[in-house]
């Protein structure tokens, strides 16, 4: 069993669509499930994480992934205070088809928050090179896919770990990207909070299914001197979270379909669940929550 | 990873030994072979086809896969559930391939 999954009584499922709102409270990054944020407010949200929208998927596990994405977008749009940014942690499409990217764009353009940051998943580069993805989302990175930016005192780093798979199926960043990251972080104050987002988990959740990133340790070594690091991933369509010192690792649920927990069954992939259970499996509440003003009852574990 | 492949080899040998009684010549290789893709594996991991014959892969997983030769000879692109890809092999040889999305999925085609 992955850590933190299905274990905490507090991790009840309340949401109908995936997504997580992140805010800054006293300089500490905090996470709140989107559904709760929509109904109760979270102060000033910094950004929302969406993941694994898989536009184009239409099988039994969820015949209408556009509808569940729209429900997620409605939740974001109905937040009392709009976040500044949206981060999408990959698998925007299911098969990298141009028409899937077009449809994804149409859905995502409904977001009232217009600043969208993305990183590709392996489903966004089935064409081999990721050309279709980079043509549409590569401007911020000069066609590389990985890039960084600052917002509200936080340094955001979008990394790509789906271009160089290692034997066994683990993701990898590769030497060029690691060299770029070292350069990007050099001279930066260690007190600046970092938010790192990439598609595949940046710690090994289940190696047999490739749920990890072979050279993630090198990224973590480069960020070790920083006082607050949040690592946000997708790929596995379920919440798994761990905290190591001042680093919190978090994987998001999908807006499209659930996957089995690590090692349950012969292989990963779309998991068919009862129709009335699906919204709960796409639900978003399994994020542990740091104390927030007015939301003390939701407090469980600090995210950062 | 080693154990299953050794097992696969052992099964292949057993099957070879059980093939047509007292036949001295090798049985003719089939001219058409189907390889299902299921549970993140090509089944079987090695097939034999006659030169000029074709192999058809069909993805039975809900997760998309590709059939991508390691030397660039053939490339299916993304195969969604129940989609197929066929390639005709003209020259004898051993052709290795992987799923480019899940490179732990390795297999080969023997053409003779």
B64 and A95 within 8 Å at the Cβ level: the answer is yes
Higher pLDDT, A40 or B77: B77
Please compute the mean of the pLDDT values over residues A98-108 and round it to a whole number.
97
Nearest CA in chain A to B81: A59
pLDDT confidence bin for A32, thresholds 50/70/90: low
User: What pLDDT does B42 receive?
Assistant: 97
pLDDT tens by residue, A193-230: 889 999 999 999 999 899 999 999 999 999 999 988 88
Report percent pLDDT > 70 for chain B. 78
User: Could you report the predicted ipTM of this complex, rounded to two decimals?
Assistant: 0.72
Confidence band of A110 (pLDDT split at 50, 70, 90):
very high
CA–CA min distance A271, chain B (Å): 8
Who wins on pLDDT, A28 or A302?
A28
Is the per-residue pLDDT at A52 higher than 50? yes
Residue A174 within a domain = yes
Residue A234 token pair: 């997708």
Contacts of A266 in chain B (CB under 8 A): 39-40
Average pLDDT, stretch A262-291?
70
Which residue did the predictor score with more confidence, B21 or B75? B75
Chain B interface mutation, best of A213, A256, A269, highest count of B Cβ atoms under 10 Å:
A269
pLDDT score for A30: 66
Question: Given an 8 Å threshold on Cβ–Cβ distance, is A269 in contact with B75?
Answer: no
Residue from the list A60, A168, A269 with its beta carbon closest to the beta carbon of B104: A168
Residue A246 has pLDDT above 50, yes or no: yes
Domain that holds residue A114: 20-298
Residues of A in contact with B104 (CB under 8 A): 167-169, 210
pLDDT of residue A155: 92
| Strand order across the beta sheet in which B32-37 lies | B32-37, B54-59, B84-88
Runs of H (alpha helix) within A78-148: 98-108, 131-137
pLDDT of A60 strictly over 60 = yes
- The model's pLDDT over A120-142, given as tens digits with 9 standing for 90+, comes to 999 999 877 899 999 999 999 99
When divided into structural domains, chain A yields a total of: 1
Q: Which residues of A touch B102 (CB under 8 A)?
A: 165, 169, 210
Task: Say if the Cβ atoms of B63 and A267 lie within 8 Å.
Answer: yes
**Rounded-to-integer distance, Cα A296 and Cα B64, Å:** 43
Count of C-beta atoms within a 10 Å radius of residue A184 = 15
A294 C-beta neighbours (distance < 10 Å), count? 10
pLDDT of residue A296: 20
Q: Which residue has the higher pLDDT, A72 or A21?
A: A72
Separation CA A26–CA A23 (nearest Å): 10
Compute the distance between CA of residue A80 and CA of residue A83 in angstroms, rounded to an integer: 9
pLDDT band at A300; cut points 50, 70, 90: very low
Nearest neighbour of B64 by CB, restricted to A126, A128, A169: A126
Per-residue pLDDT of A143-199, as tens digits, reads 999 999 998 888 999 999 999 888 778 999 999 999 999 999 999 999 888 899 999
Going through chain A in order, the beta strands assigned E by DSSP cover 20-25, 28-33, 45-50, 85-88, 116-118, 147-151, 154-158, 194-197, 229-233, 240-244, 247-251
pLDDT for the residue A34? 63
Query: What local confidence, expressed as pLDDT, does residue A27 receive?
Result: 54
Q: A246 in a domain, yes or no? A: yes
Give the CATH number, domain containing residue A194. 3.60.21.10
Calpha distance A209→A203 (Å, rounded):
13
For B2-15, what is the mean pLDDT?
46
Beta sheet of A45-50, edge-to-edge order: A28-33, A20-25, A45-50, A85-88, A116-118
- pLDDT tens readout for residues B22-66: 555 678 899 999 999 999 999 999 999 999 999 999 999 999 999
Please compute the mean of the pLDDT values over residues A252-276 and round it to a whole number. Answer: 90
Q: Among A239, A258, A235, A238, which Cα is nearest to A248's? A: A239
| CA gap A73, A110 in Å, rounded | 7
Domains of chain B: 27-111 (2.60.40.420)
- pLDDT at position B24, please? 58
- CB–CB of A94 and B40 under 8 A? no
**Average pLDDT of B81-107?**
94
Q: Please, are residues B34 and B56 in contact by the beta-carbon 8 Å criterion?
A: yes
Distance from CA of B44 to the nearest CA of A (A): 16
pLDDT bracket for residue A249 (50, 70, 90)? confident
- CA-to-CA distance for A45 and A25, rounded, in angstroms? 9
pLDDT value at A279 more than 90 = no
- Closest Cα partner for B50 from B108, B100, B99, B110? B110
Give CA–CA dist A285/A11, Å, rounded: 7
Provide residues of A within 8 Å CB-CB of chain B: 59-61, 94-96, 122-123, 126-128, 165-169, 209-210, 266-270
A8 within some domain: no
B interface toward A at CB cutoff 8 Å?
A: 1, 39-40, 61-64, 66, 68, 75, 77-78, 80-81, 100-104
Cβ contact A127:A83 at 8 Å:
no
Asked if A94 and B80 come within 8 Å (Cβ–Cβ), the reply is: yes
Classify residue B32 as left (phi > 0), alpha (psi -120 to 50) or beta: beta
Q: Which of A60, A95, A124, A236 to mutate against chain B (most B CBs within 10 Å)?
A: A95
Percent of chain A predicted with pLDDT > 70: 79
Instruction: Kindly identify which residue of chain A lies nearest to residue B79, measuring between CA atoms.
Output: A95
Residues of chain A contacting residue B72, judged by C-beta atoms under 8 Å apart = none
Q: What is the pLDDT of residue A227?
A: 85
Q: What is the mean pLDDT of chain A?
A: 80
In sequence order, the β-bridge partners of residue A251 are A233, A240
């Amino acid at each position: 069993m992955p850590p933190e999954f299905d274990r905490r009584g507090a991790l009840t499922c309340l949401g109908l669509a995936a997504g997580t709102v992140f805010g800054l409270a006293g300089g500490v990054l905090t996470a709140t499930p989107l559904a709760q944020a929509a109904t109760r407010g979270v102060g000033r949200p910094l950004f929302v994480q969406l993941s694994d929208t898989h536009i184009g998927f239409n099988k039994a596990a969820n015949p209408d992934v556009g509808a569940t994405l729209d429900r997620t977008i409605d939740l974001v749009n109905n937040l009392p205070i709009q976040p500044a940014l949206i981060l999408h942690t990959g698998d925007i499409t299911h098969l990298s088809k141009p028409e899937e990217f077009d449809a994804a764009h149409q859905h995502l353009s409904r977001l009232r928050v217009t600043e969208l940051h993305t990183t590709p998943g392996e489903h966004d580069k089935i064409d081999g090179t990721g050309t279709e993805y980079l043509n549409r989302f590569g401007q911020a990175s000069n066609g590389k896919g990985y890039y960084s930016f600052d917002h509200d005192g936080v340094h955001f780093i979008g990394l790509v770990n789906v271009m160089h798979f290692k034997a066994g199926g683990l993701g990898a960043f590769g030497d060029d990207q690691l060299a770029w990251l070292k350069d990007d972080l050099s001279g930066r104050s260690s007190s600046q909070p970092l938010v790192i987002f990439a598609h595949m988990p940046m710690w090994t959740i289940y190696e047999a299914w490739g749920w990890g990133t072979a050279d993630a340790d090198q990224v973590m070594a480069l960020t070790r001197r920083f006082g607050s690091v949040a690592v946000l991933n997708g790929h596995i369509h379920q919440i798994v979270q761990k905290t190591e010192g001042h680093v919190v690792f978090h994987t998001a649920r999908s807006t499209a379909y659930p996957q089995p927990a690590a090692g349950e069954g012969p292989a990963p992939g779309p998991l068919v669940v009862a129709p009335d259970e699906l919204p709960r499996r796409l639900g978003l509440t399994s994020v542990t929550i740091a104390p927030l003003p007015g939301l003390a009852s939701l407090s469980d574990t600090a995210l950062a | 990873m080693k154990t299953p492949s050794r097992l696969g080899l052992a099964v292949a040998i057993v099957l070879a030994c059980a093939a047509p009684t007292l036949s001295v010549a090798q049985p003719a290789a089939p001219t058409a072979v189907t390889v299902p893709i299921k549970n993140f594996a090509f089944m079987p991991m090695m097939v034999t086809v006659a030169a000029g014959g074709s192999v058809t892969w069909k993805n039975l997983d809900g997760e998309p896969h590709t059939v991508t030769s390691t030397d660039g000879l053939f490339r299916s692109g993304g195969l969604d559930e129940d989609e197929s890809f066929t390639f005709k092999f003209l020259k004898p040889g051993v052709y290795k391939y992987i799923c480019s999305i899940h490179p732990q999925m390795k297999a080969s085609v023997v053409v003779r």
